[in-house]
Amino acid sequence: MKIIRLLPLVPFLATLSVHAHPGHGLGEHGAAHVMTSPYHLALLAGTGLALWFGGRFVQSQLPRRILQSAGVGAVLAAAAIWGSHL
Ligand SMILES: [Zn+2]
């Protein structure tokens, strides 16, 4: 796999982090806000889905597994954090 093929994902992921929550930066209000805000948790889950989906287009097995595992991990983390608040 050529890493250059992942370059189209960079602006997408950068845009996600910049616009994590309209009106403020990701680290502006501290970790507690990030862990309790549905916007940030939805963003984490969405990023995980994007990683998993993007991994489907990677030909090499190891990078594909890494991307998809990171994606699944992000979705599971978002679900676990969200579930801990219910
Ligand atoms: Zn926020």
What is the per-residue pLDDT across 22-49, written as a single tens digit (0 to 9) for each? Answer: 677 767 788 888 888 888 888 889 999 9
For residue 16, name the pLDDT band (cuts at 50, 70, 90). Answer: low
Is residue 31 in some structural domain? yes
Tell me what percent of the residues of the chain surpass a pLDDT of 70. Answer: 73
46 CB-near residues (< 8 Å, 6+ apart): 16
Instruction: Tell me if 11 is assigned to some domain.
Output: no
Domain-located, residue 77: yes
Q: 17 CA to middle of ligand 1, Å?
A: 11
- Does any domain span residue 80? yes
Domain count, the chain: 1
64 CA distance to ligand 1 middle (Å)? 30
Quote the domain boundaries for residue 50. Answer: 22-84
Residue 1 lies in a domain: no
pLDDT on residue 5: 66
How far does residue 30's CA lie from ligand 1's centre (Å)?
A: 9
- Say yes or no to pLDDT of 77 above 60: yes
pTM: 0.70
